[in-house]
Amino acid sequence: MHPNLVFLLAFIALALPSSLPAQQCTIIRTPQWMITPQGPFVQAESEALRLRFAYDARGAEGWFKGGGGCDGSIVELYHKPTSATRNLVPRNGPWGGKKDALDFWELEPAAQDGADHNAPQFSSAADGVLLSHTVRQSAGRLISTCDIQLQTFRIRRTHIIYPWGDITMHARIEHIAPCRWNYLGHRFDFGVKPYQILNGKTTYDWGGLYQTDGEYYYAFSDLYGPDGKYANAEPFIYKEQIVDNLNKNTAVSMYNRQDPYSGFMIEDKNGNDPDIVVMNGDKATWFSPFDRIARKIGGVNYVETGIYTPFYAKAKHTEASCCWFYATIPRNPIIYNAPLLWPADLGVWEESFHILLRQDLDAEDYLPLWRYRVRGLEEHRPRQVEGARVELNNVDRLYHVIADPGAKAIRFTWSGGELPADIEPRTAFLLEGVGPIAGVKIDGEAPPKVDIYSGEEEKTALLVLRGPRPGGPITVSLQLK
């Protein structure tokens, strides 16, 4: 049978819900992703997204002839509800480049001046050595892992992609040898202007329509700063219309604030592109490795927006990005050619980010979503748990409800927290050791709808609460077969 026909039949099966009498609940047992290996690439597709990972892809299919495509990042990303043909990841033509990836690390070992400092010498997308990689699906989620060797760092990156379009990126970073670096930066980059690339005889139409439609880029401060200095302040909100040749970087520190950006948003008003939200998974940059590791070395964190029309790109596209830097050069005054020593004892640390591709979000929705998904995460811990134990998982940043051996039922209470009724957070919990689920019951005022993505062969399931937030605490009861 043709693989596309298998995928179509899977989605038809998905549209036929199994309604349980105890609660409005849909149990989804069919695969959510069609995974297609393509040599050095892997393509994956769901109802909401089509994406492509690149593994050691230099020169493959005529792409990345000049570098890039080496570190297992997402190099093509299509939000199918708005366009199945416009790749939202910038691409500098078939020659490729250091920035041709959704998220990538960049390194600058030495720089004589500011311009040199802003041109990183190494990038994971171009210079990383891929040690291993896997792509699989589990309980409705697509999970990509890859192990990358990059100069003095070994990075294990995990992308977790949900069928409705959310992505969580986790990285385990191991510093394996002493070295001097100006900075290590982790950048997230999106194409915000339509452009065409000719590759062989095929013309590709890529880039979102944000610039064409006169739309805006926003970034939001995290209200902490050194020792919680801004805990009672209003957040700083950076707003910039996306235009050609803006070509500037912007940090909160330029506005006499010391609380860095928690994340950014590319807002779509007319519905022909996704609203894109990227947020750091830490409560504040002060608590994140970007600050902790930089401070240990003697540097600072530095979170910087950017909207650029690269001079080297023949297609004249525009990119909108944000970079989280471990900045490790002397400050006050800045000395570019004196990188600080990253000692051998830095060890291992972890980064996490949430990337949301949604529709019908507004700029004012970012801060409530950030507080809900990141800063207020502890408020969403399942409590009064029976038949299981609960752990917050550092990789997917979800609460895992782990069934007791032999348990036939699991019960817990949950409070939805404060969130405007028109925002759909899709609160998820991963159930482990559960096998088939026989029934679900939710007690409480205005209970949410429930979807369960079941991975019975793994004894895992993803329990998703969606719709308006409940009016108060609810009790979730699961009957196990």
Q: Which CATH number fits domain 3-29+380-480: 3.30.499, 2.60.40, 3.30.450, 1.20.140?
A: 2.60.40
Q: Quick one: average pLDDT of 370-375?
A: 92
CB-count burial class (<10 Å; 0-12, 13-18, 19+) for 91: buried
CB-count burial class (<10 Å; 0-12, 13-18, 19+) for 115: exposed
Residues 6 or more apart from 405 whose CB is under 8 A from it? 433
CA gap 128, 151 in Å, rounded: 8
Confidence of residue 18 (pLDDT cuts 50, 70, 90): very low
Burial 193-213 (b: 16+ CB within 10 A, else e): bbbebeeeeeebebbbbbbee
Of the candidates 189, 202, 6, the residue with the CA atom closest to the CA atom of residue 85: 202
Q: What would the pLDDT profile of 395-454 be if each residue is shown by its tens digit? A: 999 999 999 999 999 999 998 767 776 787 789 999 999 988 888 998 887 788 889 998
Residues 6 or more apart from 66 whose CB is under 8 A from it? 95, 96, 97
pLDDT exceeds cutoff 90 at 166: yes
Two tokens, residue 247? 């070509």
CA gap 338, 110 in Å, rounded: 7
Two tokens, residue 301? 């964190």
The topology (CATH level 3) of 34-373 is: Beta-galactosidase; Chain A, domain 5 (2.70.98)
Prediction pTM value: 0.92
Confidence of residue 458 (pLDDT cuts 50, 70, 90): confident
CA gap 332, 144 in Å, rounded: 42
Domain residue extents for the chain: 3-29+380-480, 34-373
pLDDT exceeds cutoff 60 at 1: no
Q: Quick one: average pLDDT of 71-94?
A: 95
